[in-house]
Amino acid sequence: MTQLTLPLLFLADSVLLPGMVVPVELDGERRSAVDAARLAAQNGTSGDTPPQLLVVPQLDGKYGAVGAVAEIAQTGRLPNGKPAVVLRAIGRARVGVGVNGPGAALWVEADVLDVPAIDEHTRELAREYKSVLVSILTERGSWQVVDTVQRMNDPSELADAAGYASWLENDKKVQLLETPETGKRLTLLLEWARAHLAELEVAEKIREDVRDTMDKTQREYLLRQQLAAIRKELGDDPEGADDYRTQVEKADLSEKVREAALREVDKLERSSDQSPETGWIRTWLDTILELPWNVRTTDTTDISGAREVLDADHAGLDDVKDRIVEYLAVRSRRANRGLQAVGGRGSGAVLALVGPPGVGKTSLGESVARALDRKFVRVALGGVRDEAEIRGHRRTYVGAMAGRIVRAIKEAGSMNPVVLLDEVDKVGSDFRGDPAAALLEVLDPAQNHTFRDHYLEVELDLSDVLFLATANVADTIPPALLDRMEVVALDGYTEDEKVAIARDHLLPQALERAALSPEDVTVEEEALRAVAADYTREAGVRTLERALAKILRKVATVLATGAESGPVTVGAAEVKKYLGRPRFLPESARDGSTPGVATGLAVTGAGGDVLYVEAATMGGEPGLTLTGQLGDVMKESAQIALSYLRAHGAGLGVPVGELATSRVHVHVPAGAVPKDGPSAGVTMTTALASLLSGRPVRPEVSMTGEVSLTGRVLPIGGVKQKLLAAHRAGLTEVILPKRNEPDLDDVPEAVRADLTIRLAEDVSEVVQWALTPAEANGIEEVEVSGTQAAV
């Protein structure tokens, strides 16, 4: 083995094999290596010896253990002007230890690797590899290189020529450089070449398939164009189930819709398959053909049966049930007299179910559809902000589709379904439009028989659709939209109605969800009443449903762990065991000894609620401080109450001198909840009168009403919801404005029986009824006449 001392030259991301001639650009380190090689050649014994280097590959930051011994064949510059040398590799050498040498280059001792003698097996490998290599070059179209390969007779030279192969990765070329045995190199190359040839053949087959498919597509396109021209000349139409013209003509469409669809079919036949408009037209035609243009279900004529369905599904809600039965009765009479004209103006109905959460507005829609024997579709509108969601998108937009109303009709499969527009009060508006404004035509019985969706652009008859809209509050619904609907208020349930709902509906559902049966657990009616009274204070029954589910989960756990055996009975005494301490106490049980605190009534999105007003005086600059997130109207009510007392306090027996020297603070808990409205006027006046007179407000009394500057008690809204809230809270006496007396007819009889309702025309009456007797506080009483109605 020959040993040489040579300067090192590193090639990054490149491998030099013996026999290869490559140009190498010179940078700082490479220039040093080339200069050192020249210096060594000049100082050698023979001046004809060309300078030599050891060229080592550098891949991914790693240096090879074997390099190529290369001669500097030529020195010059590259086309870009940078200096370079041409290296010719003449052999292999293994990198040894570093030694000292001339110049700034890195010198090493290199052991030259000799090539073993060539045997017959190696020559056979060379012939086979040459055949595969020629096939590869032929596939790649490298005909000039084929001649060069054919002239190579030395197996070692043929194997090392793989250094020029672009289809070999550098790590494989390093493996060839480190293998001096020609037979092993040819064996490796033969394996790699066969794998690459197989890849080329697969890629060529794929290219041929794609080329054939493209040729076939172009050929079919030309034939279709020629066929269309021939059909146009003959005036003949094609037959087939997939042809849109045939489908449109067979469909049960109105004359205007058929004309519009045939116009689109004409456009489709004139368009090429490559045109994007073709897809848009097909989608539009599919939508038209899927709509049930003349499909209608038959309404039930059994009015009594429909009422039974409604009563079975929902307790209470008599106003809604009466309105549905009236609708059925009118339709039945029109049908009997031959007046049931399809598509007639105003033949539909639009009902708005307005009430707090949990009273059954959404589920009522399904019951109405079942009572009418119609299809039911729910359209959720909460948070919808795009007007196109209602009326559809114009077909000029990418991804355009019909609006939610059209999609609901298509989903129902009939033109007279019950469509529930859920949460219509939570529709928003932004730069994309106002969806509530788009609903104006949909919900107007005088217009919706010619409803036009932006996507369809044909008239759609919605007059036979029964629209039910649900909302928590009517205040946020635009007035124009609210005017088109018939509002039916659902003000909440009484305690007896909650117990009936829990017994007949909620408890069976909760038993099924908890995998229990009536044989496993018995929940007594008194337990249901205790849960409704002490653990829930809401207009609806959702909290009651969750409480029942909690009880049954704990019962299931008791039975599963074996803590109890046999059927479990849940009575009123056991409710605390499963639900913990009661969450609510009757307001009359609270301490009523503090002057300046009055109980009012309010209406929120969750139904009626109890509202407290607290008043206090303190030193400082005279004036009024208001807290509790009060709105402008409520702030003005407080100002009116203060002004009224300053002007008329003496007549009420209320000392008002302190108002001129002290600061008055009025607070309305809870402070984190915004509040507004005029109905707290009498409550604020009473709280201030209690504070100044030292007479506490009786804890069982609540009140509501707007107060004027002259002391008149003005009417307010939401009487039924407020009385239900007072009843739920355990209050026994309510003071209302005299002018709200007709509203008492809407209050359930059971609630009126439990409450003492006083009707006031002047705030002096409210003060007299609400405050504790003057004798108990050592204050002279002032007699004030008034009106009282004990109901």
Name which of 427, 462, 468 is nearest 442 in CA terms.
Answer: 462
pLDDT, tens digit, for every residue of 237-257? 444 334 788 888 888 888 888
- Give 449's DSSP letter: G
31, 50, 53, 66, 92 from 73: Cα distances, Å:
15, 8, 11, 21, 17
The annotation status of 357 as a binding-site residue, yes or no, is yes
pLDDT band at residue 235 using 50, 70 and 90 as cut-offs: low
Residue matched to tokens 């756990």: 557
Q: Which amino acid is at 170?
A: N
pLDDT at 624 over 80: yes
Q: Where do runs of H (alpha helix) occur along 54-119?
A: none
Model pLDDT, residue 416:
87
Q: Which amino acid is at 233?
A: E
When the pLDDT of each residue in the chain is averaged and rounded to a whole number, the result is 83
On whether the CB atoms of residues 429 and 436 are closer than 8 A, the answer is: yes
204, 672, 761, 776 from 596: Cα distances, Å:
95, 21, 22, 16
Name which of 606, 609, 614, 604 is nearest 638 in CA terms.
Answer: 614
707 CB-near residues (< 8 Å, 6+ apart): 637, 640, 641, 644, 681, 682, 684, 685, 713, 714, 763
pLDDT band at residue 94 using 50, 70 and 90 as cut-offs: very high
Model pLDDT, residue 238:
46
Q: What is the mean pLDDT of residues 312-330?
A: 79
Name which of 14, 39, 166 is nearest 89 in CA terms.
Answer: 14
Q: How far is it, in rounded angstroms, from Cα 660 to Cα 647?
A: 12
On whether the CB atoms of residues 352 and 475 are closer than 8 A, the answer is: no
The annotation status of 361 as a binding-site residue, yes or no, is yes
The annotation status of 715 as a binding-site residue, yes or no, is no
Please give the torsion angle defined by the CA atoms of residues 327, 331, 333 and 334, in that order, rounded to the nearest 10 degrees: 140
pLDDT band at residue 776 using 50, 70 and 90 as cut-offs: low
On whether the CB atoms of residues 268 and 282 are closer than 8 A, the answer is: yes
Q: How far is it, in rounded angstroms, from Cα 201 to Cα 205?
A: 6
- DSSP-based three-state secondary structure for 729: coil
- β partners of residue 4: 110
The annotation status of 699 as a binding-site residue, yes or no, is no
On whether the CB atoms of residues 706 and 594 are closer than 8 A, the answer is: no
Q: What is the mean pLDDT of residues 749-777?
A: 84
Q: What is the mean pLDDT of residues 439-468?
A: 84
Q: What six digits make up the tokens of 746?
A: 């809407």
Model pLDDT, residue 242:
46
At residue 112, φ and ψ (nearest 5 deg) are -70, 130
Q: How far is it, in rounded angstroms, from Cα 778 to Cα 450?
A: 75
pLDDT band at residue 586 using 50, 70 and 90 as cut-offs: low
Q: What is the mean pLDDT of residues 278-287?
A: 86
Q: How far is it, in rounded angstroms, from Cα 215 to Cα 435?
A: 50
SS3 content of the chain, % helix, strand, coil (to 5): 45, 20, 35
pLDDT, tens digit, for every residue of 155-167? 999 999 998 888 8
Q: How far is it, in rounded angstroms, from Cα 63 to Cα 77?
A: 27
Domains defined along the chain, listed by start: 3-113 (2.30.130.40), 120-202 (1.20.58), 237-290 (no CATH), 303-393+413-489 (3.40.50.300), 495-579 (1.10.8.60), 590-777 (3.30.230.10)
pLDDT band at residue 659 using 50, 70 and 90 as cut-offs: confident
> Containing H/E element for 657?
none
On whether the CB atoms of residues 414 and 459 are closer than 8 A, the answer is: no
pLDDT band at residue 193 using 50, 70 and 90 as cut-offs: very high
pLDDT, tens digit, for every residue of 485-516? 888 887 777 777 788 888 888 899 899 998 88
Model pLDDT, residue 240:
33
Residue 366's CB: how many other CB atoms inside 10 A? Answer: 14
Name which of 277, 259, 425 is nearest 356 in CA terms.
Answer: 425
Q: How far is it, in rounded angstroms, from Cα 131 to Cα 129?
A: 5
pLDDT at 778 over 90: no
Q: C-alpha angle with apex 526: 525 to 531, nearest 5 degrees?
A: 95
55, 79, 168 from 23: Cα distances, Å:
12, 12, 20
pLDDT at 42 over 60: yes
Q: What is the mean pLDDT of residues 214-223?
A: 79
Which residues are tagged catalytic? 679, 722
Model pLDDT, residue 789:
30
Q: Looking at per-residue confidence, does 319 or 111 come out higher?
A: 111
pLDDT, tens digit, for every residue of 346-390? 455 688 888 888 888 888 888 888 888 889 999 988 878 777 888
On whether the CB atoms of residues 600 and 612 are closer than 8 A, the answer is: yes
Model pLDDT, residue 343:
42
Least confident piece of the model among 175-179, 341-345, 433-437, 645-649: 341-345
Q: How far is it, in rounded angstroms, from Cα 577 to Cα 574?
A: 5
Q: What six digits make up the tokens of 59?
A: 């891949």
Q: Where do runs of H (alpha helix) occur along 337-474?
A: 361-372, 388-391, 404-412, 435-442
Q: How far is it, in rounded angstroms, from Cα 130 to Cα 551?
A: 85
The annotation status of 355 as a binding-site residue, yes or no, is yes
Q: What six digits make up the tokens of 91?
A: 């052999």
Of 187-201, 272-286, 549-563, where does the model show the most confidence?
A: 187-201
Q: Which amino acid is at 655?
A: P
Model pLDDT, residue 591:
61
